[in-house]
Chains A and B, each alone.
Chain A
Amino acid sequence: MKRFDCLKALASFTAEDDLVVTNLGNTPHEWHAVRPSRANLYGFNLGQCTPVAYGLALALPNRRVIALDGDGNLLLHLASLADVCFHKPANLRIIVFDNEAYESPGGMPTATAHGVDLVQIAKGCGIQRSFLASTIEEFTEKVKAALEEKELCFLVAKIETGTIGRTEYASMDYKFNKYIFASYIEETEKRPVLRLRSRSPFTEK
Chain B
Amino acid sequence: MNVEASDAIIRGLKAANVDLVAMLPDHGFDRVQKTIAADPSFTFVPVSNEGIGVGICAGAFLGGKIPAIMIPTSGLLVATWPLASLNNLWNMPLLLLIPYRGDVGDAQPVMRTYKFTTEPILRDLHIPYVIVSEISKIEGAIKDAVASTFAWQNPICLLFTGETLR
Contact = CB atoms under 8 A, between A and B. Distances in A.
A interface, by DSSP: helix, strand, loop or mixed?
helix
Contact of B58 (A46, A55, A86): A55
B interface, by DSSP: helix, strand, loop or mixed?
helix
Interface residues of B, number: 38
B51 A47 contact: yes
A56 interface: yes
A91 to B, nearest CB: 11
Interface stretch (B25-33, B95-103, B146-154, B157-165): B146-154
Interface string A177-205: 01001100110010111111100110000
Interface in A10-51: 21, 41, 44-48, 50-51
A136 interface: no
Interface string A160-187: 0000000000000011001001100110
Interface band, chain A: 35 or more
Nearest to A48: B55
Contacts, number: 134
B91 A59 contact: no
Contact of A77 (B52, B59, B67): B52
16 contacts: A45-B82, A45-B85, A47-B55, A48-B85, A51-B53, A58-B60, A58-B63, A59-B61, A59-B65, A77-B49, A77-B51, A77-B52, A82-B48, A83-B48, A175-B90, A178-B91
Given A45-B86, A185-B62, A193-B64, 15 more contacts: A48-B86, A51-B56, A55-B57, A55-B65, A58-B45, A59-B60, A59-B63, A59-B65, A79-B47, A83-B49, A175-B91, A181-B62, A196-B151, A196-B153, A197-B147
